[in-house]
Amino acid sequence: MQVPQDEEDLAGQPWYHGPLSREKAEALLQQDGDFLVRASRSRGGHPVISCRWRGTTLHFEVFCVALRPRPGRPTALFQLEDEQFSSMPALVHSYVTGQRPLSRATGAVASRPVTRQGPLQRSFSEDTLMDSPARIEHFRARKWSNSQPADLEHVRWSGEDHSGPGASTMPVSALPRTGSDPVLLKVPALLGTIADSLRASDGQLHAKAPTKPFRTPSLALPDASGRPPTYCELVPQVPSAQGTRPGQRCPEPEAPWWEAQEEEEEEDRCFTRPQAEVSFCPPDNPSCLLGPRNRPLEPEVLHTLRGLFLEHHPGSTALHLLLVDCQAAGLLGVTKVQRVAMGVASGLELLTLPHGHRLRLELLERHEALALAGALVVLGCTGPLEERAAALRGLVELALALRPGAAGDLPGLAAVMGALLMPQVSRLERTWRQFRRSHTQAALAFEQELKPLMRSLDESTGPCDPGVVALPHVAPAVRLLEGEELPGPLDESGELLLRALHRARRVARDAPKFREAAAGRLRGFRPNPELREALTTGFVRRLLWGSRGAGAPRAERLEKFQRVLSVLSQRLEPDC
């Protein structure tokens, strides 16, 4: 067994209390923000963060994903919801120093550690990383394979064998292992220990036994030649359609969260009344592009963003925007806690319900903030006329990459078109004239394809099939449900209302198909962290209004920035 470094060992952390019961942990936490980390006996020794928040003590289990040992890579990954860390100290440090909520549903923030009294006998790395993957096996029913030669009995420990008096204290990794033993996780042990445990019937010549394949049909790998599928023992690949339960541990996460198939809802699950509104906007984490107290439209940040967007072609930027839009709309990355809280499985269903008020406001603010930022791309070009024309071309190319049949991100398309059709941008006659002269193809696509497409989407008659659309256009229904008037002639307002409601019902019905389509477009995509952050609602809000102004009322912020854009537009092309 490889002993981890001191900084990676929980035994040296003052906030780690080792095996501690829930009742004792609650007695130690007195004020809001107090927290400690303990090893839960009921969870097989897995780490649990106990935190007091708003007068109650909450317990958050940290999922530990053991990895196959490789040089230069951690032996396990730790995570609460989405982000993964190579060690528990790194996870705790990130959440405490950044004042990030331990979960989006509760908003609990851990700020003050409760130190333990006295040293620990064993470190977390020995108790959890080595023993817990095997110890938790008895918590779930497991069907053992009957492929042992001569039908010999498998060597295993049951729950009674653990807890009974006089139980053996020999570590799990030292158990003798036969050639066809089903081993889900092979943890490296001391060389001498393994060598002593080998038997002549194992047929193993090396000191380290190879990892045996899973005894499940899910590991049958298709062969392009048409031959029957075979089991691959060297590189086990678990299909993403099979979700991993919290009690189980897969050898290695092969795909990011947006590629994994969402956990299917149980058909016989009873409906539970939603207790609170759900937000899909990530918390305001420390930014790698903005300082903790940034001012609006800082020139250095704008210069960095310009270079960042120039490094990516429109197709890549469109996929980044699709990823962030899907998370903001609750189409991808929805946790089980959020599904239980909102009573449905997707944000596309939630926005049509009365308790989707918060989500609808977030979607409206995101659309408006992205449109303002897109207009700033053009109006912020104070150089030559050709520079502004090139900015228009870049927005048009991005809109073409977002349209149906391409990325299929219709909310992103609506935000980009909102920037191009904004009055402060539309009035720049010399800029548009130069754009048509220098970039004729893009100008024709804007006039003949994008503008009619956007008009049909606003009238709820545009494309909405999951085959060509990954994220549908829901702005008309959202505005209608929030009491805003729909644009259009007064004599057609009733027809527009009915079409918007019918489209919203269809979107909610086809939410699983849209989720599948979005995951398919993002399969194999590896986003740039900085560009992904630059497209989030929180970042755009802080960029436009600063860290202080971002907390002002939405209507007041929009009105002030509209005046800023009007001033910039007048400076670029004054009225004759």
Identify the burial level of 445 via C-beta atoms within 10 angstroms of its C-beta, where 0-12 means exposed, 13-18 middle and 19 or more buried: middle
Residue 10's contacts (CB-CB under 8 Å, 6 or more residues apart) are 16, 37, 47, 88, 89, 123, 124, 125
Contact between residue 155 and residue 170 where contact means Cβ atoms under 8 Å apart: no
- What distance in Å separates the CA atoms of residue 351 and residue 173, rounded to the nearest whole number? 50
Identify the burial level of 410 via C-beta atoms within 10 angstroms of its C-beta, where 0-12 means exposed, 13-18 middle and 19 or more buried: buried
All domains in the chain, ordered by first residue: 6-130 (3.30.505.10), 299-572 (1.10.840.10)
Greatest Cα pair distance in the chain: 96
Contact between residue 355 and residue 342 where contact means Cβ atoms under 8 Å apart: yes
- pLDDT score of 127: 41
CB-CB neighbours of 372 under 10 Å: 26
- What distance in Å separates the CA atoms of residue 329 and residue 342, rounded to the nearest whole number? 13
- What distance in Å separates the CA atoms of residue 152 and residue 133, rounded to the nearest whole number? 24
pTM to 2 decimal places: 0.57
- What distance in Å separates the CA atoms of residue 215 and residue 231, rounded to the nearest whole number? 10
- pLDDT score of 488: 63
**What does pLDDT average to in each consecutive run of 10 residues of the chain (576 residues)?**
43 85 88 89 76 87 77 80 84 89 84 82 41 37 40 39 41 40 40 39 42 41 41 36 38 53 48 69 77 90 89 91 95 88 90 91 95 95 91 96 95 97 95 95 95 94 92 94 75 83 94 94 90 94 92 91 94 83
Stretch (H or E) spanning 388? helix 385-402
Contact between residue 530 and residue 539 where contact means Cβ atoms under 8 Å apart: no
CA-CA-CA-CA torsion for 266, 272, 273, 279, nearest 10 degrees?
-50
- pLDDT score of 273: 62
Of 365, 388, 366, which Cα lies nearest the Cα of 568? 388
Expressed in angstroms, the distance from the first to the final Cα of the chain is 80
Of 179, 168, 51, 53, which Cα lies nearest the Cα of 113? 51
Tokens of 140: 């779930």
Rounded to whole angstroms, what are the CA distances from 42 to 28, 46, 79, 112, 296? 19, 9, 19, 25, 50
- pLDDT score of 120: 67
